[in-house]
Amino acid sequence: MRELREERGLTLKYIAAYLGVEFSTLARYERAEWPFRRDHVVALLDVYGVYDDAERTALVELSQRAWRINQWVPAASLQEQRSGDDEMAIDDWWLIQRAEELWIYANLTVPEPVQSRDYANALITHTVEQPALVDKSIRQLLERQQAFQNKVDNKPPTRLEILIEEPVLHRPIGGRLVLQQQLQHLTRLVELPHINVRVIPDRIGWHPGLNGAFTLCKMQRPYPPVALVHHLDGRLLIEADGAKRYEKTFEKVQEVALSPTESAALIDTLAHTEPASGSPRTA
Protein backbone atom coordinates (compact mmCIF):
# COMPACT_ATOMS: atom_id res chain seq x y z
CA MET A 1 0.00 0.00 0.00
CA ARG A 2 2.89 2.34 0.70
CA GLU A 3 4.27 1.60 -2.76
CA LEU A 4 0.93 2.49 -4.36
CA ARG A 5 0.78 5.75 -2.41
CA GLU A 6 4.35 6.75 -3.26
CA GLU A 7 3.89 5.91 -6.95
CA ARG A 8 1.03 8.41 -7.03
CA GLY A 9 2.98 11.11 -5.21
CA LEU A 10 0.56 11.30 -2.27
CA THR A 11 1.72 12.13 1.25
CA LEU A 12 1.00 10.25 4.45
CA LYS A 13 -0.66 13.35 5.84
CA TYR A 14 -3.04 13.62 2.88
CA ILE A 15 -4.05 9.95 2.95
CA ALA A 16 -4.45 9.92 6.73
CA ALA A 17 -6.86 12.85 6.44
CA TYR A 18 -8.69 11.08 3.61
CA LEU A 19 -9.20 7.99 5.79
CA GLY A 20 -9.96 10.00 8.89
CA VAL A 21 -7.18 8.41 10.94
CA GLU A 22 -4.14 9.73 12.77
CA PHE A 23 -0.92 10.22 10.81
CA SER A 24 0.83 7.74 13.13
CA THR A 25 -1.90 5.14 12.56
CA LEU A 26 -1.39 5.14 8.81
CA ALA A 27 2.38 5.01 9.30
CA ARG A 28 1.97 1.90 11.46
CA TYR A 29 -0.23 0.33 8.78
CA GLU A 30 2.41 0.91 6.13
CA ARG A 31 5.23 -0.40 8.34
CA ALA A 32 3.15 -3.57 8.89
CA GLU A 33 3.07 -2.97 12.64
CA TRP A 34 -0.74 -3.09 12.44
CA PRO A 35 -2.77 -4.95 9.78
CA PHE A 36 -4.82 -2.76 7.42
CA ARG A 37 -8.57 -2.78 7.96
CA ARG A 38 -10.52 -4.16 5.02
CA ASP A 39 -12.63 -1.01 4.60
CA HIS A 40 -9.48 1.14 4.60
CA VAL A 41 -7.95 -1.01 1.88
CA VAL A 42 -11.07 -0.68 -0.27
CA ALA A 43 -11.07 3.12 0.20
CA LEU A 44 -7.36 3.40 -0.59
CA LEU A 45 -7.68 1.34 -3.76
CA ASP A 46 -10.29 3.84 -4.91
CA VAL A 47 -8.15 6.88 -4.22
CA TYR A 48 -5.07 5.18 -5.73
CA GLY A 49 -7.01 4.38 -8.87
CA VAL A 50 -6.66 0.60 -8.69
CA TYR A 51 -9.64 -0.65 -10.70
CA ASP A 52 -8.41 -4.00 -12.00
CA ASP A 53 -10.76 -6.58 -10.46
CA ALA A 54 -8.11 -9.27 -9.99
CA GLU A 55 -5.65 -6.89 -8.30
CA ARG A 56 -8.34 -5.39 -6.06
CA THR A 57 -9.60 -8.83 -5.02
CA ALA A 58 -6.08 -10.06 -4.25
CA LEU A 59 -5.23 -7.02 -2.10
CA VAL A 60 -8.54 -7.10 -0.21
CA GLU A 61 -8.17 -10.83 0.48
CA LEU A 62 -4.61 -10.27 1.62
CA SER A 63 -5.80 -7.64 4.11
CA GLN A 64 -8.33 -10.13 5.48
CA ARG A 65 -5.70 -12.87 5.84
CA ALA A 66 -3.33 -10.47 7.60
CA TRP A 67 -5.53 -10.63 10.70
CA ARG A 68 -5.01 -14.38 10.95
CA ILE A 69 -2.22 -15.39 13.31
CA ASN A 70 -1.30 -18.71 11.66
CA GLN A 71 -1.45 -19.70 8.01
CA TRP A 72 -1.46 -23.03 6.19
CA VAL A 73 -0.24 -22.94 2.60
CA PRO A 74 -1.04 -26.13 0.63
CA ALA A 75 1.56 -27.70 -1.63
CA ALA A 76 -0.29 -26.53 -4.75
CA SER A 77 0.12 -22.90 -3.67
CA LEU A 78 3.83 -23.43 -3.05
CA GLN A 79 4.12 -24.68 -6.63
CA GLU A 80 2.31 -21.53 -7.80
CA GLN A 81 4.86 -19.43 -5.90
CA ARG A 82 7.65 -21.17 -7.81
CA SER A 83 5.90 -20.54 -11.12
CA GLY A 84 5.18 -16.91 -10.22
CA ASP A 85 1.38 -17.35 -10.35
CA ASP A 86 0.78 -16.56 -6.67
CA GLU A 87 2.46 -13.25 -5.96
CA MET A 88 0.22 -12.47 -2.98
CA ALA A 89 1.21 -15.50 -0.88
CA ILE A 90 3.77 -14.97 1.87
CA ASP A 91 7.06 -16.39 0.65
CA ASP A 92 9.59 -18.10 2.92
CA TRP A 93 12.51 -16.10 1.63
CA TRP A 94 10.63 -12.83 2.04
CA LEU A 95 10.57 -13.58 5.78
CA ILE A 96 14.05 -15.07 5.91
CA GLN A 97 15.73 -12.05 4.32
CA ARG A 98 14.05 -9.72 6.82
CA ALA A 99 14.91 -11.68 9.95
CA GLU A 100 17.58 -10.48 12.36
CA GLU A 101 18.31 -14.08 13.35
CA LEU A 102 17.42 -17.46 11.88
CA TRP A 103 17.16 -20.46 14.19
CA ILE A 104 17.09 -23.56 12.01
CA TYR A 105 16.63 -27.15 13.12
CA ALA A 106 17.40 -29.61 10.29
CA ASN A 107 16.84 -33.33 10.72
CA LEU A 108 16.73 -34.55 7.10
CA THR A 109 18.71 -32.28 4.76
CA VAL A 110 21.08 -29.32 4.92
CA PRO A 111 18.92 -26.17 5.23
CA GLU A 112 18.46 -23.94 2.16
CA PRO A 113 20.41 -20.85 3.33
CA VAL A 114 23.64 -22.86 3.57
CA GLN A 115 23.21 -25.33 0.72
CA SER A 116 25.88 -25.57 -1.97
CA ARG A 117 24.82 -25.13 -5.59
CA ASP A 118 25.05 -28.82 -6.56
CA TYR A 119 23.38 -29.98 -3.35
CA ALA A 120 20.47 -27.60 -3.91
CA ASN A 121 20.28 -28.70 -7.55
CA ALA A 122 20.02 -32.36 -6.53
CA LEU A 123 17.32 -31.68 -3.94
CA ILE A 124 15.14 -29.58 -6.22
CA THR A 125 15.44 -32.05 -9.08
CA HIS A 126 14.01 -34.78 -6.84
CA THR A 127 11.40 -32.75 -4.95
CA VAL A 128 9.74 -30.44 -7.49
CA GLU A 129 6.72 -32.34 -8.83
CA GLN A 130 6.36 -30.42 -12.09
CA PRO A 131 9.39 -31.09 -14.35
CA ALA A 132 8.83 -27.81 -16.20
CA LEU A 133 9.51 -25.91 -12.95
CA VAL A 134 12.81 -27.61 -12.06
CA ASP A 135 15.14 -25.21 -13.89
CA LYS A 136 13.19 -22.16 -12.74
CA SER A 137 13.13 -23.38 -9.14
CA ILE A 138 16.89 -23.97 -9.12
CA ARG A 139 17.56 -20.55 -10.61
CA GLN A 140 15.17 -18.91 -8.15
CA LEU A 141 16.79 -20.58 -5.15
CA LEU A 142 20.30 -19.61 -6.26
CA GLU A 143 19.20 -16.01 -6.81
CA ARG A 144 17.61 -15.94 -3.37
CA GLN A 145 20.70 -17.41 -1.76
CA GLN A 146 22.82 -14.75 -3.44
CA ALA A 147 20.49 -12.03 -2.21
CA PHE A 148 20.62 -13.52 1.27
CA GLN A 149 24.40 -13.70 1.11
CA ASN A 150 24.51 -10.04 0.15
CA LYS A 151 22.29 -9.31 3.11
CA VAL A 152 24.47 -11.17 5.61
CA ASP A 153 27.60 -9.56 4.23
CA ASN A 154 26.27 -6.19 5.39
CA LYS A 155 26.47 -4.91 8.96
CA PRO A 156 24.85 -6.05 11.13
CA PRO A 157 24.64 -9.49 9.49
CA THR A 158 21.73 -11.85 9.96
CA ARG A 159 22.84 -14.40 12.54
CA LEU A 160 22.35 -18.06 11.66
CA GLU A 161 21.93 -20.55 14.50
CA ILE A 162 21.69 -24.00 12.92
CA LEU A 163 21.13 -27.32 14.67
CA ILE A 164 21.64 -30.28 12.37
CA GLU A 165 21.26 -34.01 13.01
CA GLU A 166 24.44 -36.00 12.38
CA PRO A 167 22.80 -38.37 9.83
CA VAL A 168 22.26 -35.35 7.55
CA LEU A 169 26.05 -35.10 7.25
CA HIS A 170 26.19 -38.68 5.95
CA ARG A 171 23.17 -38.68 3.62
CA PRO A 172 24.52 -38.61 0.03
CA ILE A 173 22.09 -36.19 -1.57
CA GLY A 174 23.30 -35.94 -5.17
CA GLY A 175 25.95 -38.58 -4.52
CA ARG A 176 29.03 -38.83 -2.30
CA LEU A 177 31.00 -36.19 -4.16
CA VAL A 178 28.18 -33.63 -3.96
CA LEU A 179 27.81 -34.36 -0.25
CA GLN A 180 31.53 -33.87 0.31
CA GLN A 181 31.42 -30.53 -1.53
CA GLN A 182 28.44 -29.52 0.61
CA LEU A 183 30.34 -30.34 3.79
CA GLN A 184 33.34 -28.34 2.56
CA HIS A 185 30.95 -25.45 1.89
CA LEU A 186 29.66 -25.73 5.47
CA THR A 187 33.24 -25.82 6.78
CA ARG A 188 33.91 -22.45 5.17
CA LEU A 189 30.65 -20.95 6.41
CA VAL A 190 31.14 -21.90 10.07
CA GLU A 191 34.31 -19.81 10.11
CA LEU A 192 32.15 -16.70 9.72
CA PRO A 193 31.34 -15.03 13.07
CA HIS A 194 27.59 -14.79 12.41
CA ILE A 195 27.08 -18.44 11.43
CA ASN A 196 26.90 -21.05 14.17
CA VAL A 197 26.34 -24.72 13.26
CA ARG A 198 25.98 -27.36 15.95
CA VAL A 199 25.52 -31.09 15.39
CA ILE A 200 23.22 -33.40 17.33
CA PRO A 201 25.27 -36.63 17.52
CA ASP A 202 23.90 -40.08 16.69
CA ARG A 203 24.24 -41.20 20.30
CA ILE A 204 21.49 -38.85 21.48
CA GLY A 205 18.14 -40.58 21.92
CA TRP A 206 14.84 -38.75 22.09
CA HIS A 207 14.78 -34.95 22.11
CA PRO A 208 12.06 -32.36 21.31
CA GLY A 209 13.36 -31.68 17.79
CA LEU A 210 12.40 -35.16 16.62
CA ASN A 211 8.88 -33.85 16.03
CA GLY A 212 10.15 -32.27 12.81
CA ALA A 213 12.38 -29.69 11.13
CA PHE A 214 11.57 -25.97 11.34
CA THR A 215 12.95 -22.49 10.82
CA LEU A 216 12.33 -19.75 13.38
CA CYS A 217 12.63 -16.22 12.01
CA LYS A 218 13.54 -13.81 14.79
CA MET A 219 12.24 -10.53 13.44
CA GLN A 220 13.18 -6.97 14.32
CA ARG A 221 11.11 -5.49 17.12
CA PRO A 222 8.18 -4.94 17.43
CA TYR A 223 7.51 -7.92 15.16
CA PRO A 224 7.15 -11.31 16.90
CA PRO A 225 9.05 -14.46 15.85
CA VAL A 226 7.61 -16.51 12.99
CA ALA A 227 8.07 -20.27 12.65
CA LEU A 228 8.11 -21.96 9.25
CA VAL A 229 7.28 -25.68 9.19
CA HIS A 230 7.25 -27.64 5.93
CA HIS A 231 5.20 -30.78 5.38
CA LEU A 232 4.66 -33.07 2.41
CA ASP A 233 1.37 -31.35 1.61
CA GLY A 234 2.32 -27.75 2.27
CA ARG A 235 3.79 -25.27 4.72
CA LEU A 236 2.64 -23.90 8.05
CA LEU A 237 3.45 -20.35 9.13
CA ILE A 238 3.12 -19.94 12.90
CA GLU A 239 3.16 -16.69 14.88
CA ALA A 240 2.58 -15.37 18.40
CA ASP A 241 2.39 -17.97 21.20
CA GLY A 242 2.72 -20.83 18.74
CA ALA A 243 6.12 -19.59 17.60
CA LYS A 244 7.32 -19.41 21.21
CA ARG A 245 6.91 -23.18 21.46
CA TYR A 246 9.41 -23.61 18.62
CA GLU A 247 11.75 -21.16 20.32
CA LYS A 248 11.70 -23.24 23.51
CA THR A 249 12.14 -26.46 21.52
CA PHE A 250 15.22 -25.06 19.78
CA GLU A 251 16.73 -24.05 23.11
CA LYS A 252 16.17 -27.55 24.53
CA VAL A 253 17.76 -29.21 21.50
CA GLN A 254 20.79 -26.92 21.92
CA GLU A 255 21.37 -28.61 25.29
CA VAL A 256 22.08 -31.99 23.66
CA ALA A 257 24.06 -30.72 20.66
CA LEU A 258 27.84 -30.78 20.34
CA SER A 259 29.61 -27.49 21.06
CA PRO A 260 30.35 -25.21 18.09
CA THR A 261 34.03 -26.24 18.22
CA GLU A 262 33.23 -29.96 18.35
CA SER A 263 30.69 -29.59 15.58
CA ALA A 264 33.08 -27.69 13.31
CA ALA A 265 35.74 -30.37 13.87
CA LEU A 266 33.29 -33.16 12.98
CA ILE A 267 32.12 -31.41 9.80
CA ASP A 268 35.72 -30.70 8.79
CA THR A 269 36.70 -34.35 9.29
CA LEU A 270 33.80 -35.59 7.17
CA ALA A 271 34.43 -32.91 4.53
CA HIS A 272 38.00 -34.10 4.02
CA THR A 273 37.20 -37.80 3.99
CA GLU A 274 37.59 -39.09 0.45
CA PRO A 275 34.42 -40.65 -1.02
CA ALA A 276 34.60 -44.42 -1.04
CA SER A 277 35.68 -46.00 -4.31
CA GLY A 278 32.71 -46.79 -6.50
CA SER A 279 30.37 -44.48 -4.53
CA PRO A 280 27.49 -43.17 -6.67
CA ARG A 281 27.79 -39.62 -7.93
CA THR A 282 24.08 -39.01 -8.14
CA ALA A 283 21.13 -39.85 -5.93
CATH code at position 37:
1.10.260
How many whole angstroms separate alpha carbon 203 and alpha carbon 90? 38
Question: Does a structural domain hold residue 276?
Answer: no
Question: What's the DSSP call for residue 258?
Answer: P
Q: Which helix (H) or strand (E) holds 230?
A: strand 226-231
- The predicted structure's pLDDT at residue 151: 60
- The predicted structure's pLDDT at residue 86: 46
Among the candidates 21, 44, 65, a domain finishes at: 65
Q: For the chain, how many helices (H) and strands (E)?
A: 12, 7
How many whole angstroms separate alpha carbon 31 and alpha carbon 2? 8
Q: Looking at the structure, tell me whether residues 58 and 97 fall in a common domain.
A: no
Q: Looking at the structure, tell me whether residues 106 and 180 fall in a common domain.
A: yes
Dihedral of the CA atoms 96, 100, 104, 110 (nearest 10)?
A: 60
- The structure's pTM equals 0.71
Question: Does a structural domain hold residue 278?
Answer: no
* Domain region containing 26: 2-65
Among the candidates 65, 98, 118, a domain finishes at: 65
Q: Looking at the structure, tell me whether residues 205 and 104 fall in a common domain.
A: yes
DSSP-assigned beta bridge partners for residue 198: 163
Q: Looking at the structure, tell me whether residues 46 and 135 fall in a common domain.
A: no
- The predicted structure's pLDDT at residue 276: 60
How many whole angstroms separate alpha carbon 224 and alpha carbon 18? 30
Contact status, residue 102 vs residue 161, Cβ threshold 8 Å:
yes
Q: Looking at the structure, tell me whether residues 182 and 128 fall in a common domain.
A: yes
| Number of domains making up the chain | 2
Whole-Å CA distances, 185 to 7, 125, 146, 174: 42, 20, 14, 15
Q: Looking at the structure, tell me whether residues 8 and 97 fall in a common domain.
A: no
Residuewise pLDDT in 10s, the chain (283 residues): 888 888 989 988 888 898 888 888 888 777 766 678 888 888 889 989 988 888 888 787 767 665 555 455 555 444 554 444 444 445 677 778 778 899 999 999 999 889 999 999 899 888 777 777 778 888 888 777 776 665 655 557 788 999 999 999 999 999 999 999 999 999 999 999 889 999 999 999 999 999 899 999 998 777 788 999 987 777 788 887 889 999 999 999 999 999 999 999 999 999 998 766 555 555 5
- The predicted structure's pLDDT at residue 146: 72
Least Cα distance to 179 among 97, 224, 249, 116 occurs for: 116
Q: Looking at the structure, tell me whether residues 57 and 79 fall in a common domain.
A: no
Question: Does a structural domain hold residue 82?
Answer: yes
